[in-house]
């Protein structure tokens, strides 16, 4: 298999986003850390306009739903052709025919979590399909989608924001994207715990002192304190995560 490698010899990750609003996606992902990661070629982001693939001479990509009901549905043909074009491009680059995963972002999907982000960060290519209107013709979903993923139990107007959320969470786990390689290890959800509280200068602010132990220089004690704080914070704020943590760390 031929991998995509940047000038530093690092394997890149490629995000392909099938959308009716490519500008929204590209603008949302071209700043800060993700923008820098694109610039440095750790990742690529390609927003593909589904409308470019419609065979309708008026550029139509939606139509009424059979059986009645409110709203319009994205039609199968342009979605399918857009996806096949991306798959063909990936196959050509990799010189193989193993299709990339296609993630349909939908409130009906499995809930996106840090663990899923970690697992997806191992892929070389990911294709996201952003729905709009009342959804997408079921037949094309059956043909192309490998993963149905939701970012939470609420309904948004389209799939672009969820796709951007997922790209951000996955991209920052790609080696090289974060400068400080530690920060992906010590952050919230590492080992199923929330992150401990952190402090910067000054030592005293509005009569509040930085916890003394953090000034001690004793790294073992600092680590122990931070773990204790993480556990306590998780117990208070996320009893669901705390219960899972206790179960996993139960000595008995
Ligand atoms: N599309 C609309 N709402 C969504 C959600 N909560 N998650 C993923 N995709 C969506």
Q: What is the pLDDT of residues 163-203, one digit of tens each?
A: 999 999 999 999 999 987 557 667 888 889 999 999 999 99
Radius of gyration of the chain from its Cα atoms, rounded to whole angstroms: 22
Confidence of residue 3 (pLDDT cuts 50, 70, 90): low
What are the pLDDT digits (tens) for 102-160?
999 999 999 999 999 999 999 999 999 999 878 999 999 999 999 999 999 999 999 99
pLDDT in tens, 47-66: 999 999 999 999 999 999 99
pLDDT at residue 9, as a whole number: 67
CA 138 to ligand 1 center in whole angstroms: 16
Closest CA to 8 of 174, 183, 186: 174
Q: What is the pLDDT of residues 186-197, one digit of tens each?
A: 788 888 999 999
The Cα 33–Cα 173 span in angstroms is: 12
Check residue 189 and give left, alpha or beta (phi > 0: left; psi -120 to 50: alpha): left
- What's residue 184's pLDDT? 67
Q: Is residue 154 in contact with ligand 1, taking CB distance under 6 Å?
A: yes
**Relative to the CA of 152, which ligand 1 atom is closest?**
6
Indicate the pLDDT class of residue 252, thresholds 50, 70 and 90. Answer: low
Question: In this model, does residue 1 exceed pLDDT 50?
Answer: no
Distance, CA of 126 to CA of 103 (rounded, Å): 7
124: nearest Cα among 44, 48, 30? 44
- What is the per-residue pLDDT across 88-102, written as a single tens digit (0 to 9) for each? 999 999 998 899 999
Please state, rounded to an integer, the average pLDDT across all residues of the chain. Answer: 94
Q: Which of 17, 21, 105, 168 to mutate to test the pocket of ligand 1 (most atoms within 8 A of CB)?
A: 105
Q: Is the CB of 135 under 6 A from ligand 1?
A: no
Q: What is the mean pLDDT of residues 29-45?
A: 96
Measured CA angle at 10 (ends 9, 14), to 5 deg: 125
């Amino acid at each position: 298999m031929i991998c995509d490698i940047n000038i530093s010899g690092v394997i890149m990750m490629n995000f392909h986003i099938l959308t009716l609003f490519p500008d929204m996606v590209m603008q949302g992902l071209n700043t800060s850390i993700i923008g820098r990661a694109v610039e440095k070629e750790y990742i690529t982001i390609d927003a593909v306009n589904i409308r470019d693939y419609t065979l309708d001479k008026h550029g139509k990509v939606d139509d009424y739903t059979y059986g009645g009901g409110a709203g319009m549905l994205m039609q199968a043909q342009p979605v399918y052709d857009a996806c096949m074009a991306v798959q063909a491009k990936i196959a050509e680059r990799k010189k193989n025919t193993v299709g990339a995963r296609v993630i349909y972002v939908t409130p009906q999907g499995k809930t996106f979590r840090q663990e899923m982000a970690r697992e997806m960060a191992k892929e070389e290519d990911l294709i996201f399909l952003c729905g709009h209107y009342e959804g997408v013709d079921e037949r094309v979903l059956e043909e192309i989608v490998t993963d149905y993923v939701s970012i939470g139990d609420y309904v948004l107007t389209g799939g672009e924001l969820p796709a951007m959320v997922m790209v951000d969470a996955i991209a920052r786990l790609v080696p090289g994207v974060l400068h400080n390689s530690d920060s992906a290890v010590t952050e919230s959800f590492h080992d199923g715990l929330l992150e401990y509280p952190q402090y910067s200068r000054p030592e005293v602010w509005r009569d509040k002192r930085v916890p003394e132990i953090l000034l001690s220089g004793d790294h073992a004690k600092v680590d122990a304190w931070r773990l204790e704080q993480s556990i306590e914070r998780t117990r208070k704020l996320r009893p669901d995560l705390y219960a899972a943590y206790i179960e996993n760390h139960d000595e008995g």
